[in-house]
Amino acid sequence: MKKINRPLSILLIPAACLALLCACAVPGSAGDPSGTPFPSVSEEPSETPSATPAPEPSEATSEAPSHPLSPSPAQSPALRSDPPDSLPPEPSASLAQPGMALDRNELVFTAMGDTFQLTVTLSGTDGPSSVIWTSSDEGVATVGPGGSVTAVSPGTATITAMSGSGLAASCIVRCRWEPASPQPGQVDLSAFAAGILAQYPFGSATPATDEAIGQHFPGLDAIGAQQRLVYLCQAPKNDAELVLVEVANPGDVGAVKAILQARIDAMVSGGAWFPEATQVWTDHSRITVQGTYIMLVVHTQCDAVVSAFQPLFS
Three-state secondary structure readout of 153-203: CCEEEEEEEEECCCCEEEEEEEECCCCCCCCCCCCCHHHHHHHHHHHCCCC
The pLDDT of 82-90, averaged and rounded, is 54
H/E stretch holding 13: helix 6-25
Residue 188 pLDDT greater than 70, yes or no: yes
* Most confidently predicted of 62-71, 74-83, 290-299: 290-299
What is the value of pTM for the model shown? 0.47
Confidence at residue 108, expressed as pLDDT on a 0 to 100 scale? 87
CA angle, corner 146, sides to 145 and 152, nearest 5?
70
CA angle, corner 128, sides to 161 and 148, nearest 5?
35
Pairing between β-strand 168-175 and β-strand 106-109 as defined by DSSP bridges: parallel
Least confident of 14-18, 99-103, 287-291: 14-18
CA angle, corner 27, sides to 26 and 30, nearest 5?
85
Instruction: State the pLDDT confidence band at 26, using cuts at 50, 70 and 90.
Output: very low
Mean pLDDT, all residues of the chain: 77
Measured CA to CA, the distance from residue 199 to residue 191 in angstroms comes to 12
Measured CA to CA, the distance from residue 133 to residue 163 in angstroms comes to 9
Instruction: State the pLDDT confidence band at 128, using cuts at 50, 70 and 90.
Output: low
Confidence at residue 34, expressed as pLDDT on a 0 to 100 scale? 46
Write out pLDDT tens, residues 260-280: 999 999 999 999 999 999 999
Confidence at residue 132, expressed as pLDDT on a 0 to 100 scale? 93
Between residues 51 and 212, the one the model is more confident about: 212
Residue 41 sits at φ, ψ, to 5 deg, of: -90, 130
Measured CA to CA, the distance from residue 155 to residue 20 in angstroms comes to 129
Instruction: State the pLDDT confidence band at 124, using cuts at 50, 70 and 90.
Output: confident
The SS3 call for residue 116 is strand
Amino acid at 142: T
Residue 151 pLDDT greater than 70, yes or no: yes
Write out pLDDT tens, residues 282-308: 999 999 999 999 999 999 999 999 999
CA angle, corner 209, sides to 194 and 216, nearest 5?
100
* Most confidently predicted of 10-24, 29-43, 61-75: 10-24
Residues 6+ apart with CB under 8 A from 288: 294, 295, 297, 306, 309, 310
Q: What's the gap between Cα 279 and its chain centre?
A: 46
What is the set of domains in the chain, with CATH numbers? Answer: 99-175 (2.60.40.1080), 189-313 (no CATH)
Instruction: State the pLDDT confidence band at 63, using cuts at 50, 70 and 90.
Output: very low
Residues 6+ apart with CB under 8 A from 132: 161, 162, 163
Measured CA to CA, the distance from residue 160 to residue 118 in angstroms comes to 10
Between residues 279 and 53, the one the model is more confident about: 279
The pLDDT of 153-170, averaged and rounded, is 91
Counting beta carbons within 10 angstroms of the beta carbon of residue 220, is it exposed (0 to 12), middle (13 to 18) or buried (19 or more)?
buried
Residue 120 sits at φ, ψ, to 5 deg, of: -100, 140
Residue 57 pLDDT greater than 50, yes or no: no
Percent pLDDT > 70 in the chain is 66
Residue 259 pLDDT greater than 70, yes or no: yes
The answer to whether 299 and 305 have CB atoms below 8 angstroms apart is yes
Measured CA to CA, the distance from residue 32 to residue 224 in angstroms comes to 130
Counting beta carbons within 10 angstroms of the beta carbon of residue 88, is it exposed (0 to 12), middle (13 to 18) or buried (19 or more)?
exposed
Residues 6+ apart with CB under 8 A from 301: 200
Residue 130 pLDDT greater than 70, yes or no: yes
Residue 127 pLDDT greater than 60, yes or no: no
The pLDDT of 244-270, averaged and rounded, is 95
Does residue 55 come out as left (phi exceeding 0), alpha (psi in the -120 to 50 range) or beta?
beta
